[in-house]
Amino acid sequence: MHKVLMRQGENMAKNGIKAQKELARTYAAIDAVAPFMHFSSQDILPWSFRVQARADNAFEQAAVLRNNRLELAARLLVDHAVRRMRAQHKEIQASLRYARSADLVSLIPSSAKFIFLGETHHQPVIEKQILYILARYHKRYPEKKIMLLTEFVLDTNVSLLPREMDERITSKRNFFNLLMKWRIPVFGLEEPLAHSQAAHEIFTEKTGTAFLSSTALAVRTRNQHWVKQIKAMHETYPDMVFFIYAGLGHTEYNLPASVAAAFPEKETFAIDFFVGRRSRFTPFDRAFGGLFSGPGVWYWKDAKYARLAGFDVSAVLPAGEVR
């Protein structure tokens, strides 16, 4: 009996590994980069696995199962990215350059058409830094027309008006009002359906603690919509330079069906912002934990590592200060 159980266990393990590899190959073919990773508060299992049994109908069950597959593929693919970076640890670290402070705009190549500004949410110091970058860029390139496309405003295809702001980010009202005063066009990327009550209920636990916007399936769907919106804007305004302002989970090159990675490498530039220190959720931080010891600006001597690492420039800001 013991041998039979051992054999069954070995077969289950082999089948599980085979299934994981098949999933990884499937989603690797679909996504140029790893899909979104989302962990439970225990940081062990995706919360969606715990929700699966609570799906109330076939539509919800299908959505949850699809999300679970994406969650699993995310772990496998992100682990692969971490291994690639660790294998090139010396070369990547040797190519990183550090400055205590730097003019971030001077690091942006003039050829960049899509400039991604990735933030950690609810940090006023990052908002101030982004305002500074927009003003500084306009001063450096007065001949260029710029536009801001952002996660924090609903997609209405109409330049930003105060009433169009997403209720989630009323704290950013002054930020957007200032851009309007500067006559910088602002357009939303967020599809209204993504934040409707009906959509929330699909991936909401009975306690109401987790929402559709943070699941692997939702982030993938949202990012695909954003890419279409940005490309449509570029077709309409081909001479514009587009600043895309959103959370790091959307802008890092090596994260969730990355919005930034969907555009030509020679035309993109991604800056990620943290306050105090980098957090540990990105593949780069998993591979290089502790490399960023405090505030400063990191950039590349050899830009070939940017896509693998997830960013062109990483700015760790001291709290309450603008660089």
User: Per-residue confidence of the chain (323 residues) as pLDDT tens digits?
Assistant: 444 444 544 454 455 445 445 444 444 443 333 333 333 323 223 333 333 344 455 555 666 667 767 777 777 777 888 899 999 999 999 999 999 888 999 999 999 999 999 998 878 899 899 999 999 999 999 999 999 999 888 776 556 554 555 455 556 778 888 888 888 888 888 877 665 554 555 444 433 334 455 667 777 778 888 999 999 999 999 999 999 999 998 999 988 689 999 999 999 999 999 988 887 778 898 898 777 778 899 999 989 999 999 999 999 998 765 44
Task: Give the integer Cα–Cα distance in Å for 197 and 184.
Answer: 32
Domains of the chain: 89-317 (3.40.50)
For position 23, what pLDDT does the model report? Answer: 44
Element (H, E) at 94: helix 89-95
Query: Which helix or strand (DSSP H or E) is residue 2 part of?
Result: helix 2-30
Place of tokens 């899509």: 114
CA dihedral (165, 167, 169, 175) in degrees, to 10, reads 30
pTM score, whole prediction: 0.77
Which region, left, alpha or beta, applies to residue 36 given φ > 0 means left and ψ of -120 to 50 means alpha?
beta
- Tell how far CA 271 is from the center of its chain: 11
Strand order of the β-sheet with 114-119 is 96-99, 296-300, 313-317, 268-275, 114-119, 240-247, 145-154, 186-190
* The pLDDT value given to residue 143: 94
Q: Are 318 and 295 in contact (CB under 8 A)?
A: yes
Kindly provide the b/e burial profile for residues 299-313, where b requires at least 16 CB atoms within 10 angstroms of the residue's own CB: bbeeeebbbbbbbbb
- What's residue 76's pLDDT? 75
Sequence-separated (6 or more) residues with CB below 8 Å from residue 48: 38, 64, 67, 68, 71, 203, 215, 216
Spatial contact of 261 and 269, defined as CB atoms under 8 Å apart: no
Q: List the structure tokens of 298.
A: 């990191």
Strand (E) positions, 33-184? 96-99, 114-119, 145-154
Confidence (pLDDT) at 307: 94
* Distance, CA of 39 to CA of 36 (rounded, Å): 10
Q: Are 314 and 300 in contact (CB under 8 A)?
A: no
Q: What single DSSP character describes residue 165?
A: B
What is the structure's pLDDT at 6? 44
pLDDT, residue 183, reads 86
CB of 35 within 8 A of CB of 70?
Answer: yes
CA distances from 24 to 13, 21, 33, 34 (A): 16, 5, 11, 10
